[in-house]
A = this chain, B = another copy of it.
Amino acid sequence: MKGPKRSLDVPKIVNAVLELLAEDPATVPTLRGVAARLGVRPNTLYTYVPDRAALEGAVVEHLLDLAGPAVLSGPAPWRERITAYALRLRAELLARPGAVPFFLSGPMNGPNAVLVGEGLLAAFAEAGLSPGDGARAAYAVIVHVLGSAALAAADLPGPGTDPEQVLLERRAALAAGPPLTSAASEVAAGWNSVEQFTWGINRLIDGCVPSLP
């Protein structure tokens, strides 16, 4: 190879994105911000990545991996494997709401996305689903994880707001609503809690996997 040595590579760039997210989890990183953190001019990144979308895709792939897709092929019973990965991916996303838009701004067709899909298919096959229903169920699980993460990210309180306080205000607002909303305000206010996420994904799995006839 001729020419000057490369000062960066895609993993380094992805890492810079994660650093920005670690410092300010709710802010969507920008190309220029990433470049600045790497001590480089913005257009330098175009040597390693064709455009912003590709960078986002790389970050998505990294996060899918960070959530540990290995658990999907682990020794645990199939349901636990699914819920475990779902919970971990959700946790990674909620820890970095600024990364959530990356998952929703382009197709998820990278290697790790395929790997996760395959893992889900395996789990659902083990549960007794046909390949077709397995595919539908796997997709439904992805929808549930990304959907609830996206809704949670959309509802972020301003920085430096007490979560407890937010919960109370949310509950009060719901309690002032129509009758059923008001009656369920206590539960409804905690829609973005781990408990309710777990409840939802388990009900989804229940519906996908018919219990004994």
How many residues on the A side are at the interface (Cβ–Cβ under 8 A)?
57
Contacts of A103 in B (CB 8 A): 154
Indicate if the CB atoms of B136 and A177 lie closer than 8 Å: no
Selected contact of A208 from candidates B107, B155, B203, CB within 8 Å:
B203
Indicate if the CB atoms of A122 and B180 lie closer than 8 Å: yes
Contacts of A172 in B (CB 8 A): none
Binds B, one of A8-16, A38-46, A182-190: A182-190
Say what secondary structure dominates the interface of chain A.
helix
Per-residue CB proximity of A179-213 to B under 8 Å, as 1/0?
Answer: 11101101110010000100110111111100000
Indicate if the CB atoms of A139 and B200 lie closer than 8 Å: yes
Indicate if the CB atoms of B147 and A187 lie closer than 8 Å: no
Complex Cα–Cα for A75 and B207 (A): 25
Q: Determine the residue in chain B with the shortest Cβ distance to A143.
A: B147
Indicate if the CB atoms of A105 and B154 lie closer than 8 Å: yes
Q: Using a CB-CB cutoff of 8 Å, which residues 62-107 of chain A contact chain B?
A: 101, 103-107
Q: Can you name 19 A-B residue pairings with CB atoms under 8 Å?
A: A104-B153, A105-B154, A107-B154, A107-B155, A118-B180, A118-B181, A121-B181, A131-B187, A132-B184, A132-B186, A134-B184, A135-B188, A136-B203, A138-B188, A142-B151, A143-B144, A143-B151, A144-B147, A205-B207
- Which 3 residue pairs across A and B have the least CB separation, nearest first? A147-B147, A207-B207, A206-B207
